[in-house]
Amino acid sequence: MAEDGNRDAPAAGLGALWGALRALLPRTKEELRLDLGESVERSVVLLLQQAADLFYGGRRSECLQTSEVVLDYSWEKLNTGLWQDVDKDWRRVYAFGCLLKAVCLCEAPGDATTVAAALRVCDMGLLMGAAIFDDILIKVAAVLQAHLLPGKRPAHIPAPEQPCLKKARNSHVSIPDLRSERAVPRLRCPSLQHFRKHHLVPQTPVILEGVADHWPCMKKWSLEYIQEVAGCRTVPVEVGSRYTDEEWSQRLMTVSEFIDSYVLNEPRDVGYLAQHQLFDQIPELKQDISIPDYCCLGDGEEEEITINAWFGPPGTVSPLHQDPQQNFLAQVLGRKYIRLYSPQESEAVYPHDTHLLHNTSQVRPCGIAAPRPPAVRRPGTDLCLCRWTWRIPTWRGSPGSPRPRSCPASCARESCCSSPRSTGTTCGPWT
Amino acid sequence: MAEERPGSWFGFGFCGFGQALGSGRGRQVLSPEPLRVPDAGTDICDIGSLSAAWSYTAIVSSAGRLLLSGSARGAADGCRDAWASETLRAVLRDGPGGPGPGAELQAWAPGAALRGEPLWARPAGPEEAGREDDGAACETRAGPLPLLPGARAHLSPRPPLCRPLCPALRARRLALGAEHALLLDAAGQVLSWGGGRHGQLGHGTLEAEPAPRLLEALQGLRVAAVAAGGWHSVCVGETGDIYVWGWNESGQLALPARGLAEDGQTDAGEAPALKEDGAGLKGPAGPEDAAAAPFIAVQPFPALLDLPLGADAAAASCGSRHTAVVTRTGELYTWGWGKYGQLGHGDTASRDRPRRVQCFVREQLRVTAVSCGPWNTYVRAVEPGRS
């Protein structure tokens, strides 16, 4: 866990940090220029130039102030309209603000808290911004993280106590009985042709065994490892049983805080790090995984492959939903129960009629006979799911990735089927 | 408007581009300061209309002189009204023969300093409104920008810059948010359309509306004024009630906001001020507040807002993420995002509860009007006995 490390970091150490950060930036202010299109207003362009002038002029606190203005204004643009319609230039402006702010924060001598704050700013730029200056925020984050050695991590202050308005969660987790249901077929390392002919083309799900055996994550990943590699990084976490519930919300916290509050220590609320492109944010983790060869059989380009991570405690349940894309799900740790319904059953699952939730069912599947076979994925297996199959419990949001911090807390809630419990239980630290 | 006795204007909040706001020094002004327009050639205390964009402010005096300050500078005469947005500046200019027929609406690019040719110009005289056959003709004619005279079209910061409005709507006032629009009609009804993902349309859902749709929740209430923030909406009833709806991420709806509680910015620690306002003490919900109101991020349909001491509202204006209300007794209440001093309480705290701007009470001034820019607030106040 995060511990209160040595707060009196030697001045030489911090001087080295500033030097390392400064070296990542261009030498002259002319090179720190973004090519921006028409959608970025002239006044903002002036402000960016001003910020660069202040930075290279050594006027740190004024540069910080100007960066804040840039961040606040571009944040408003990022929250206007649908996320997929937000002009990429505004996300680059936001990343620019994060870059200057993070670096300026580290210029003056500070303690581990300052460096952690700067890393958080970097992460905000990575989460909400777009790549600038050749992924400079990744490099800055790496430098800051290296400076935050485990011994130097700031003390983790637990979040203020929130009233527990929900009943205590039933900690008994039952393993569903699969005998009465049809299981998804399993294949061991099928050839590409076999996979395409028997599953991709006819759109039938399959469990592939042996495909991910050699991935480093299978041996390396544990809670301790994740803490070490990514503990101080800020990620979006969903809090609440289901994203269709009224109390559901999205929060930003470090991976350490997430593990402390929602994975260990008998959490009161359900927290789920779900559908987050963690591997773009933290390249060290990306090195532990591979992309299955079968992905090259898909329609799109390789650049269109997105890799998301799901990380949560036992007992997380995602509502029945569907995806517009083909998916491979790889289970690294723990076990997950998945129930699938064919697209032909779409009417029977009562999708919400709202734009936001039209890919989500209003009902919670109970113990009725499932028309499609469910699957239990054990660690080390890959599950291939075809487009538009209804499935639980892994979830995806509405078309377009969700923005951190801008989620509806009170969705219009449709009536659910009156099943008291869902059978989508899972166990193990990873779901 | 022009027929009121002149008062003094004050400003507070963001002025990072040097726009008129008090001393104009520094990036922000945290408490109300008398308005001073840099390089103002004439006395500007009798302001007819004021419109503030993010990086500049447009002020039109009752004598028809337009002054721009901030990222845009310039002055022009013969102007009746101005509307400032970051991407577009619109000016309603009198015709060659003075006020009356021949008035022209001009749209300028943000960089232009009112010299040369505007982006476009179109006639906007009162003859367009002459076809109205009810007694409210003068109301529709005088619709302030962004509502065009005649109420058959309105301005928009994004192309198309001039958008038609159905005449049957009988629009009296129009307020634009970042992705939505509010319309107040001659019968005191409110309609809304545009993006709705933050509940800002008030129809109880998060769905967008392509065309003006009546707010059923407000039916039966005669609304006197509407105001739109970035993602929130406010209306003031003729009886002085305030209704709010939309996004509450900074407390701009005066409902409990999670972000403020987590940053420790609720008003819990300010007991004396709260007593004066008449509001009760309420910090982050503790274990004893089992039934305490939960945090509200989005309010998708209008909620009645009670000001402290039961004050009635006379006018309201919204910035991007904050709200300001003038009461019938001449007080100013503000709440919401306060990072740039736009709440006028002398600090940069955000608030999710209405708080009276004490400065005017201390100086014994009656507030009569308020107009918010995205990150700042302009207030007109008079000494009691006048107005």
For B246, name the nearest residue in chain A, comparing CA atoms only.
A408
Taking the CA of residue B159 and the nearest CA in chain A, the distance in Å comes to 12
Q: Do B206 and A409 touch (CB under 8 A)?
A: no
User: CA dihedral defined by A288, A293, A295, A297, rounded to 10 degrees?
Assistant: 170
Please give the order of strands across the beta sheet that includes A390-392: A375-377, A336-341, A390-392
Helix (H) or strand (E) holding B362: helix B358-362
The whole-number pLDDT of residue A315 equals: 75
Q: Which residues does residue B107 pair with via DSSP β-bridges, in sequence order? A: B90, B120
Using only the alpha carbons of chain A, give its radius of gyration: 23
Q: Look at B269 and A277; give whichever has higher pLDDT.
A: A277
Alpha-carbon span B88 to B156, nearest angstrom: 8
pLDDT in tens, A79-103: 999 888 999 999 999 999 999 999 9
Q: Do A80 and B295 touch (CB under 8 A)?
A: no
Highest mean pLDDT among A294-308, A334-348, B126-140, B250-264: B250-264
Q: Chain-wide mean pLDDT for chain A?
A: 74
Q: Look at A372 and B181; give whichever has higher pLDDT.
A: B181
Alpha-carbon span B267 to B274, nearest angstrom: 8
Mean pLDDT confidence for A256-272: 86
Taking the CA of residue A156 and the nearest CA in chain B, the distance in Å comes to 15
The whole-number pLDDT of residue B15 equals: 92
| Dihedral sign for Cα atoms in the order A86, A89, A95, A100 | negative
For B159, name the nearest residue in chain A, comparing CA atoms only.
A39
pLDDT in tens, A166-203: 333 334 445 555 555 577 888 888 899 999 898 888 88
Domain segments of chain A as ranges: 12-148, 180-366
Q: Do A354 and B207 touch (CB under 8 A)?
A: yes
Q: Do B71 and A43 touch (CB under 8 A)?
A: yes
The whole-number pLDDT of residue A377 equals: 52
Total beta-carbon pairs less than 8 A apart between chain A and chain B = 88
Mutate to test the interface with A, among B25, B206, B348, B376 (most CBs of A within 10 A): B206
Residue among A72, A81, A410 whose CB faces B179 most closely = A81
Helix (H) or strand (E) holding B276: helix B271-277
Mutate to test the interface with A, among B197, B288, B296, B299 (most CBs of A within 10 A): B197
Q: Is A46 on the interface with B (CB under 8 A)?
A: yes
Q: Do B71 and A46 touch (CB under 8 A)?
A: yes
Alpha-carbon span A23 to A34, nearest angstrom: 18
- Is the distance from CB of A72 to CB of A80 less than 8 angstroms? no
Chain A neighbors of B206, CB-CB under 8 A:
354-356, 408, 411-412
Share of chain A above pLDDT 90, in %: 30
And the tokens for B16? 């990072």
The whole-number pLDDT of residue B36 equals: 72
Give the pLDDT of chain B (387 residues) as one tens digit per residue. 344 455 789 999 999 998 876 555 568 899 998 887 655 555 556 788 899 999 999 999 888 889 888 888 888 888 989 999 999 899 998 877 666 667 888 888 877 766 778 888 888 755 444 344 443 433 334 468 999 888 889 999 988 888 999 989 999 999 999 999 999 999 999 999 999 999 999 999 999 999 999 999 999 999 999 999 999 999 999 999 999 999 999 999 999 998 888 776 655 333 333 333 333 333 343 344 434 568 899 999 999 999 998 899 999 999 999 999 999 999 999 999 999 999 999 999 999 999 999 999 999 999 999 999 999 999 999 988 754
Q: Do A80 and B111 touch (CB under 8 A)?
A: no
Q: Spelled out in words, what is the top-level CATH class assigned to the domain A180-366?
A: mainly beta
CA distances from A348 to A344, A364, A415, B265, B350 (A): 9, 12, 14, 47, 47
If pLDDT is split at 50, 70 and 90, which confidence band does A165 have?
very low
Alpha-carbon span B212 to B217, nearest angstrom: 15
Taking the CA of residue A164 and the nearest CA in chain B, the distance in Å comes to 8
Assembly ipTM = 0.88
Mean pLDDT confidence for A362-391: 50
- Is the distance from CB of A412 to CB of A340 less than 8 angstroms? no
CB interface of B with A, residues 132-171, below 8 Å? none
Q: What residues contact residue B9 under an 8 Å CB cut-off, 6+ apart? A: B34, B35, B44, B45, B47, B50, B378, B379, B380, B381
| Dihedral sign for Cα atoms in the order A54, A55, A59, A63 | positive
Residue among B71, B178, B285 whose CB faces A80 most closely = B178
Alpha-carbon span A74 to B149, nearest angstrom: 33
Q: Is B286 on the interface with A (CB under 8 A)?
A: yes
Q: Of A1-10, A416-425, B149-158, B253-262, which range is least confident?
A: A416-425
pLDDT at A383 over 60: no
The whole-number pLDDT of residue A12 equals: 52
CB interface of A with B, residues 191-210, below 8 Å? none
